[in-house]
Amino acid sequence: MIQFIEKQQLFHLTTPQSSYVMAVADGEWLGHLYYGPKLADTTGMEKAFRLNEFPFSPAVNERDKVRFTQLFPFEYSFFGMGDYREPCLSVENEYGMNGVELTYRSFEIIPGKVIPEGLPHTRGDEACCDTLDLLMADDVLGLDVHLLYTVYQDLDVIVKSVKVVNRSDAPVTLKRVLSGQLNQEPEECEVLTLHGSWGRERTITRQPLMTGSVSAESLRGVSSAEDSPFLAILSPGTTQTMGEVWGMSLIYSGNFLAKAQIDQAGRLRCVMGIHPEGFSWPMVPGDTFQSPEVALVYSGEGLGKMTRTYHDLYRSHLIEKRWLTQDRPVLVNNWEATMMNFDTDVLIGFAKAAKEAGLDMLVMDDGWFGHRDDDTSSLGDWFVDERKLKGGLKKLTDAVNEMGMKFGIWVEPEMVNEDSELFRAHPDWRFQLPDRKPGALRQQYVLDLTREEVWEGVYSQIHDTLASANIAYVKWDMNRYLSDVGSMVREPGCQGQILHQYVLAVYRMQERLLKDFPDLLLENCSSGGARFDAGMLFYSPQIWTSDDTDAIERLSIQEGTALVFPVSTMGAHVSVCPNLQTGRDVPFNTRAKVAMAGTFGYEMDVRNMDPEEKAMIPEQVALFRKVHPVVREGDYYRIASFRENHHSDCWMVVTKDRSLAYMTYVQVLAAANRPGVPVRMQGLDPDAAYEVICDYKGAMAAHNGEMSMGPEASHHLGRFNGDTLMKHGIIVPRVRGDYQALMYEIKKV
């Protein structure tokens, strides 16, 4: 609900459990007043601006205007006029002078959603949301700035974005246009960010913020494995179930800045949007610039409530709706088994073994195109290598389809090798700086997709390949960060547009792909999880979470990812042991149960497996198909974190009607003489009775005081009240050995 209270010149945005309040001070300055638990009334709130205190407002004491601007809680801050904190907007005029000043002009409440052209966005119609358009302006520069706020009726979410219009008769240059700002006056707070590296993506990091600033950012051309475009402010001591949380999640896939800053008065300002480093956007008269969206979530019930709100937003209003209820195929990927050393016969053998094991799809990874035998050649040549695939792609695909299996394929459209027909024909199509030797990474270079002829040329090859056979799935990879970013055909003053336009070009390509092949399942990947962000989820319902497939390493990676993103979006596979990344041996049962937290598949040679493990695959697939509808559509609860407690990990998913839940418990490290572990569940109906069944197949568990290798499928623990399961919990039995996993079914009776 969006309400304007004229007497107070105040805007009150309400969600089911939160309020967001801003008002116009002195008739022109739009300031932020409140974001937190839902308010019944806003009477007198405008007095919180303290305009009668030092340093006074400009209307009262014009000579102290700069003292006013450096402390006023601007709703959308601007640079150059005396606000020395981190700004959202910075504009350079035609003479190179940097200064902009936004004052309030008008508002409009629009039923439904305003769609940001060319960008991924949250979806919605008049039945579920409304949008507030606040018009701000700078008459000296001739700029209109539209602050857009979408409020959903059923979610504690405020989605922000900004549209800038040059209505003057002179050019200007945008030096930064961030998407949104959050202002608070906390006594104390913590900042939570998601940091990492390749193979260690999205590690939860919490740190107190007393003075100065904390930031997460990427200058790598993608959202990156090192920092995720997310930031949250926490009240001290916040847990999964208690404390206040203010989250900011950017729906964008390129360079970003997320920064939390305490000013000299102890006030908090958080900003988020496209990173200003390397960004410069010339605007001639009549031009418009649209920022990406940022989704703000308030939770008064700890991190868990924030997580479930983001999951609901992204599942219901970002990801294409059909994927909310559609089963995902259980696939096997040949990469870890064969690398690039395969041919048609090898892949058909893979498909036969996969079919016998009950799998749905074979995915052919890197090495099928050009003359690619290693990573030094053929990126950019998206035509079949008939040395390997004799008879072509259709012959192979038809043979796999005849077995009752679907077929998928790997591509890396954004890259090129020097040893390729594409590069030999168009050496100027890669990013490069004049008179400098471009830096290679993995023997590959980044194509300048900001040029239409480049992305059209690459896309046409991929389109023709996909159209030649029955391809059900595409894994879109991107295996290096951007460097040497320069376009050989751009004017000197326009080079600062490239990084953002590159991201827009990737979005255009993926939008075209899904339009041309509407039944295609697209899975994004970027050297693992380096572009796991909400922007990519608009186009693909799942993303490869990490190249680190070690199940124990995945506990932390998947915990951090699931903090913001739905668990059903996490690409997760069972891989071979010893694990190729860590050398660790983890039981087959545990590898499978950890992978069932997301999408599910196998990353191993199913033709030459240990017979005992191979016999377990049909049972694992059957269990996944039983569990996945709850994973896909239910609520996620984090029960325990190995990252925090150093001995075990536990999570559960619960149907929306609270009739069925699955809880997974992983004992990472065994300990001598340790009793069973009490685990309190979450999300159940406190007034209902539940039957609890433990699936301990493959785990060495102690039941009734005796150690045994659990050959049976399940153990009935009995009937419990939901209130008891949440307040008292159950005792997870002692488990013998490291890396053991149990799964519990909790079913209402």
Catalytic residues: 477, 547
Q: Which of 204, 200, 202 is nearest to 191 (CA)?
A: 204
In degrees and rounded to multiples of 5, residue 345 shows phi and psi of -60, -40
HSE-up (13 A, CA, CB side) for residue 136: 24
Q: Where are the alpha helices (DSSP H) in 584-648?
A: 588-595, 611-633, 642-645
Which region, left, alpha or beta, applies to residue 739 given φ > 0 means left and ψ of -120 to 50 means alpha?
A: left
Rg (CA), the chain: 27
Q: Which residues contact 273 (CB under 8 A, 6 or more apart)?
A: 88, 176, 177, 178, 179, 180, 250, 252, 256, 257, 291, 292, 294
- Report the b/e string of 178-192 with b at 16+ CB within 10 A: bbbbbbbebeebbbb
Residues 117/146, Cβ–Cβ less than 8 Å: no
Place of tokens 């109906």: 685
Q: Which of 275, 133, 270, 262 is nearest to 210 (CA)?
A: 262
- Report the b/e string of 574-599 with b at 16+ CB within 10 A: bbbbebbbbeeebbbbbbbbbbbbbb
Q: Is 677 helix (H, G, I), strand (E, B) or coil?
A: strand
Measured between alpha carbons, how far is 362 from 409 in angstroms, rounded to an integer?
9
Provide the CA 326 distance to its chain's centre, in angstroms: 20
Angle, CA of 349, 352 and 357, to the nearest 5°: 125
Which burial class, exposed, middle or buried, applies to 24 when counting CB atoms under 10 A from its CB (0-12, 13-18, 19+)?
A: buried
Q: Which residues contact 437 (CB under 8 A, 6 or more apart)?
A: none
Which burial class, exposed, middle or buried, applies to 528 when counting CB atoms under 10 A from its CB (0-12, 13-18, 19+)?
A: buried
